[in-house]
Chains A and B, each alone.
Chain A
Amino acid sequence: MSDLTKNLDHVDNTEEFEVLEEAALPKVDEFKRFVRVFFRRKIVTFSFCLLIIIVLVAVFADFVAPHGFNEHNLRYTLQPPSAEFLLGTDGLGRCLLSRIIYGSRIALLVGIAAVAIAATIGTVIGLIAGFSEGIVGGFIMRVTDAVISIPPLVLMLLIATIIGAGVPGVIIAVGVATFPGYVRLIYGQVLTVKQNDYITASRAMGDTKARIIFKHILPNCISPLIVMMTMMIGTSIMIEAGLSFLGIGIVPPTPAWGSMTRDGYQHLASMPLLSIAPGIAIVILVFACNMVGDGIRDALDPKLRGSLD
């Protein structure tokens, strides 16, 4: 056994191998390839432009919006669309278009921040659980089960209330409520990848756990992780909208699309635009996020490279 190890060490230390590898493979510009594949589909390019526009509108909302988001005008309540108010006004005489424009800030902020929190926690925990044998892995998955098993609505409201309702509370609540999904995804992926022979080979060659995780397991998790994250940006925006719609998320006068839909619902028969327009805004943003994520997946997936390049 020790002879074998010595031999392996000897082989491993020979520099020829590395020189050969470097020379044999022509260097591919990964970024150029990524861009080429990413912009191949028209709908992805379109969604990418759409997303850029939404981000710009959110950043420059002060200049784009015709009115302030909380500018009451009781003489113009429930106006139909006109030149002054392009989408009409709500029950307090506020410009609907302006409120939707300001609402994009809230939606983008909540979506991105919540996914960042959930994906980071979830991936780290999932890798640890999948890679540690026996007690530790089992324990982590049981704790994850516990968090998963708490009804999300109960959990999110409790967290949001403890941190304090409003935007930061909702972000952390959505993040904590969604991270177990990532843990389970990564855990399942690690279990499958671990069965492969090259992991055994890598371990036999004396690679450290950290090296195996970063070199072999993490790259195999990236593709499903990105698909999940893109799904979850949209989903997080929708969870926030759902909480706000129920009246327990982001509350007025902050212009959240969910609570605007809720307020407009009272006037559905007479002014359907009041509740449908903010809802459509959610659809457009979530659609753009999902399509861009789809494009990223196609461009990143090594298995699809042959067919698309």
Chain B
Amino acid sequence: MTNYIIRRLFSCVLLVILVSMVIFMLIRMLPGDPIDLLLPREDMIGLTAEQLQAHMDALRAEHGLDRPLPIQFGYWFINMLQGDFGRSIVRGFEVGPELANRMAVTLFLGSLAFIFSIVFGILLGTISAIRRGKWVDTVATAIANIGITAPAFLIAILLIYVFGFRLRLLPIFGYHLPWRGDFVQSIRQTILPVFVLALSPMALTARQTRSSVLDVLNQDHVRTAWAKGGRERAVIFRHVLKNALTPVITLQGNNVRLIFGGSAIIESIFVIPGVGRLLVDSMLSADYPVVQAIAVVLTLITVIANLIVDLLYGWVDPRIQYS
């Protein structure tokens, strides 16, 4: 087991290097040259074509974009290991500190949403499987269906319309962390984004839990457990849920991606200063260093989530062996 973890950690490091290399190369294929955006219009007036070219080359050299790609990658990667993520080409800020600030916001909201989704997802799914066809099942399935069928931005817009414009109960944009400034205001700002972020993963978890609990309920060992006179709680937790959780756990790696991928949309709608919004903005302006840094950090999160998922497999299903 320890061996397995060490080997997996090692391959995780390789994975992050590989992914950052691929992203580094692919990003250079994005349309648009950040140097174009950087060049002030006034500077271009009255310049000949050669002077303009020279000016752009100088800017390119200043940002290290004139060197061969592998060299650029090498410098960037080594600097990053030393904690230097470089500077934004388009907007000039230091990427490292800016990223740390924004990551705190995205991670905070994302983790809250993840915990919320997993607890209520498994709860809803299990209850509706056990009471299959009863009204509890109907209600739980309806909630799950709303979460699966309604896109996050629609839910967000509806909630903004109802709670923001009509009832004027909750703020409709802006965000700061609870420990930085007005605590109550921060909590009010947290409610809508976390709810919207959690809804779809919660629904997916509930649906998968229901379907695999139904599968397990029909198996012989569960009938034996009932026949032995096991109490409902014991049968469900010890015999059904533990066996039904493998596909549910598989889903969680995906849900982590879903939450952090969805953060771009949620942060755009609620005007939250997080990583997702920064990613989209930098992507559209082809701001290489920012996109690269965010991609690596998000990759790191998903790699760790996947490792945890794989380790959990062995915990819930001892038939799967690590070798």
- Interface residues of A, Cβ cutoff 8 Å to B: 142, 145-146, 148-154, 157-158, 161-162, 181, 184-185, 188, 191-192, 195, 224, 227, 231, 234-235, 238, 241-242, 245-248, 258, 261, 265, 268-269, 272, 275-276, 279-280, 282-283, 286-287, 290-291, 297, 303-304
CB neighbours of A241 from chain B (8 A): 151, 153
Closest residue on chain A to residue B295 by CB atoms: A154
- Which of B57-65, B230-238, B252-260 is near enough to bind chain A? B252-260
By a CB distance below 8 angstroms, the chain B residues around A148 are 253, 257, 302, 306
Name which of B26, B207, B291 has the most chain A CB atoms within 10 A of its CB.
B26
- A247 to B283 alpha-carbon distance, docked (Å): 11
Q: Which residue of A lies closest to B22 (CB)?
A: A150
- Chain B positions within 8 Å of A, measured between CB atoms, are 11, 15-16, 18-19, 22-23, 26-27, 29-31, 145, 148-154, 157-158, 160-161, 165, 204, 207, 211, 214-215, 218, 246-247, 250, 253-254, 257, 260-262, 264-265, 268-269, 276, 279-280, 283-284, 291, 294-295, 298-299, 302-303, 306, 313, 317, 319-320
Task: Give the CA-CA distance A234 to B146 in the complex, in Å.
Answer: 12
Say yes or no: B302 contacts A162, CB within 8 Å: no
Our count of residue pairs bridging A and B at CB distance below 8 angstroms stands at: 151
Other CB < 8 Å A-B pairs besides A146-B22, A188-B246, A238-B151, 13 of them? A145-B303, A146-B15, A154-B23, A158-B26, A185-B250, A191-B320, A195-B319, A246-B280, A248-B283, A268-B160, A268-B165, A276-B157, A286-B150
Contact of A231 among B148, B253, B262, B276 (CB under 8 A): B148
Which of B22, B148, B157, B294 is in CB contact (< 8 Å) with A279?
A: B157
Instruction: With A234-B148, A242-B151, A290-B149 as known contacts, state yes or no: A145 contacts B157, CB within 8 Å.
Output: no
Contacts of B27 in A (CB 8 A): 158
Q: Which residue of chain A has its CB nearest to the CB of B283? A: A157
Cα distance A80–B299 in the bound complex, in angstroms: 46
List of B residues within 8 angstroms of A290 by Cβ: 145, 148-149
Q: Which residues of A contact B16 (CB under 8 A)?
A: 149
In the complex, what residue of chain B is closest to A184 when comparing beta carbons? B250
Q: Which residues of B contact A258 (CB under 8 A)?
A: 151, 153
Tell me which residues across on chain A come within 8 A of B303, comparing CB atoms: 145, 149
CB closest chain-B residue, reference A288:
B149
B15, A248: Cβ atoms closer than 8 Å: no
| Contact A145–B151 (Cβ < 8 Å) | no
Shortest CB–CB separation between residue A182 and chain B, in angstroms? 11
Identify the closest chain B residue to A185 (Cβ). B250
From B149, B165, B207, B250, contact of A283 by CB (8 A): B149
Chain A contacts for B215, CB-based, 8 A: 303
Q: Is the interface of B mostly helix, strand, loop or mixed?
A: helix
Measured CB to CB, the nearest residue on chain A to B172 is A268
CA distance A191 to B323 in the complex (A): 14
Q: What's the least CB distance linking B145 to chain A, in Å?
A: 7
Q: In the complex, are the beta carbons of B268 and A146 less than 8 A apart?
A: no
* Residues of chain A with a CB closer than 8 A to B299's CB: 149-151
Nearest CB in chain A: distance from B126 CB, A: 17
Instruction: With both chains docked as a complex, state the minimum distance between the C-beta of A231 and any C-beta of chain B, in angstroms.
Output: 7
Per a CB cutoff under 8 Å, which of A161, A181, A248, A276 touches B280? Answer: A248
Q: Does B284 lie within 8 Å of A248, measured CB to CB?
A: yes
State in angstroms the CA–CA spacing of A305 and B97 once bound together.
Answer: 59
Q: How far is the CA of A286 from the CA of B150 in the complex (A)?
A: 8
By Cβ-Cβ distance, the 3 closest A-B pairs, closest first, are: A279-B154, A151-B298, A286-B149
- State whether A279 and B153 are in contact (beta carbons under 8 Å apart), knowing that A153-B279, A290-B148 are contacts in the complex: yes
* Chain A neighbourhood of B283, CB < 8 A: 153-154, 157, 248
Give which listed residue, A153, A161, A195, contacts B30 with CB less than 8 A: A161
Q: Is the CB of B247 within 8 A of A224?
A: yes
> Within the complex, what minimum Cβ distance (angstroms) separates B262 from chain A?
8
> Can you list 28 residue pairs at the A/B interface with Cβ under 8 Å?
A142-B11, A148-B253, A148-B306, A151-B260, A151-B302, A152-B257, A153-B276, A153-B279, A154-B279, A185-B247, A188-B247, A188-B313, A191-B320, A192-B317, A234-B149, A241-B151, A242-B152, A246-B265, A246-B268, A246-B280, A258-B153, A276-B158, A282-B149, A283-B150, A283-B151, A286-B149, A290-B149, A303-B215
CB neighbours (8 Å) of A265 from chain B are 157, 269
Distance from B194 Cβ to chain A, minimum over Cβ atoms (Å) = 18
Residues of the B chain whose Cβ atoms lie less than 8 Å from the Cβ of A234: 148-149
Q: Are B306 and A145 in contact (CB-based, < 8 A)?
A: yes
Chain B residues with CB below 8 A from A188, complex form: 246-247, 250, 313
Give A192 to B319 CA distance when docked, in angstroms: 8
Evaluate whether A242 and B148 lie within 8 angstroms (CB atoms) in the complex, with A142-B15, A151-B295, A272-B161 already known.
no
Specify which chain A residues have a CB less than 8 angstroms from the CB of B291 in the assembled complex: 154
Contact A261/B247 with A150-B22, A158-B27 known, Cβ cut-off 8 Å: no
